[in-house]
Amino acid sequence: MTEAFLHYLWKYRLLSSGLSTISGDPIEILNPGFHNLHAGPDFGDARLRIADTIWAGNVEIHVHTSDWFKHGHHNDPVYDNVVLHVVLHHDMDPADEKIPVLELQHKFDQRIYEVYKAFMNSRRWVPCINLIHTVPEHEINLWLERMLIERLERKADIIQGFLALNDNDWEGAFYFLLARSFGFNLNTLPFEMMARSLPFRILARHAENPMQVEALIFGQAGLLSDEYTEPWPQQLFAEYSFLRKKYQLVPIAAHLWRFMRLRPVNFPTVRLAQFSSLIAGNAALLSQVLACETIDELKLLFDVSGSVFWDQHYHFGKSSVKRKKHLGENSVMLLIINAVLPFMFVYGRSLAQDDLCNRALSLYHDISGESNTIIQHWQAAGLNVKDAFNTQALIGLKTDYCDKKRCLECRIGNILLKNPDNFTNAG
pLDDT of residue 94: 57
Asked whether residue 392 falls in the same domain as residue 263, the answer is no
Q: Is the dihedral of CA 251, 253, 258, 264 positive or negative?
A: positive
Quote the CA–CA distance of 392 and 148 in Å, as a whole number.
6
Q: How many domains does the chain have?
A: 3
Quote the CA–CA distance of 123 and 386 in Å, as a whole number.
28
Asked whether residue 343 falls in the same domain as residue 384, the answer is no
Asked whether residue 382 falls in the same domain as residue 352, the answer is no
Task: Assess if residue 161 is contained within a domain.
Answer: no
166-188: average pLDDT: 95
> 160: pLDDT confidence band, cut at 50, 70 and 90?
very high
Task: Assess if residue 56 is contained within a domain.
Answer: yes
Asked whether residue 252 falls in the same domain as residue 270, the answer is yes
User: Which residue segment(s) compose the domain that 137 sits in?
Assistant: 132-147+369-422
Quote the CA–CA distance of 86 and 21 in Å, as a whole number.
9
Asked whether residue 75 falls in the same domain as residue 177, the answer is no
Task: Assess if residue 152 is contained within a domain.
Answer: no
pLDDT of residue 420: 74
Q: What is the pTM of this model?
A: 0.81
The predicted-structure confidence for 229-241, as pLDDT tens digits, reads as follows: 999 999 999 999 9
The predicted-structure confidence for 353-393, as pLDDT tens digits, reads as follows: 999 999 999 999 999 888 889 999 999 888 888 899 999 99
Asked whether residue 313 falls in the same domain as residue 190, the answer is yes
Task: Assess if residue 301 is contained within a domain.
Answer: yes
Asked whether residue 100 falls in the same domain as residue 139, the answer is no
Out of 364, 393, 409, a domain closes at: 364
Asked whether residue 83 falls in the same domain as residue 52, the answer is yes
Quote the CA–CA distance of 28 and 18 in Å, as a whole number.
8
131 backbone dihedrals φ, ψ, rounded to 5°: -120, -15
Which run of H or E residues covers position 161? Answer: helix 137-165
Burial of 34 (0-12, 13-18, 19+ CB in 10 A): exposed
Least Cα distance to 65 among 85, 36, 48, 37 occurs for 85
Asked whether residue 387 falls in the same domain as residue 345, the answer is no
Which residues are CB-contacts of 5 (< 8 A; sequence separation ≥ 6)? Answer: 113, 116, 408
Long-range contacts of 328-334 (CB under 8 A, 24+ apart): 328/265, 329/299, 331/184, 332/298, 332/299, 332/302, 332/303, 333/299, 333/367, 333/368, 333/370, 333/388, 334/181, 334/184, 334/370
Asked whether residue 340 falls in the same domain as residue 405, the answer is no
Please say if the pLDDT value at position 95 is more than 70: no
Write down the mean pLDDT value for the chain: 92
Asked whether residue 236 falls in the same domain as residue 325, the answer is yes
CA angle 305, 310, 315 (to 5 degrees): 130
pLDDT of residue 267: 96
Asked whether residue 78 falls in the same domain as residue 32, the answer is yes
Contact 307, 239 (CB under 8 A): no
- Collapsing DSSP states into helix, strand and coil, what is residue 37? coil
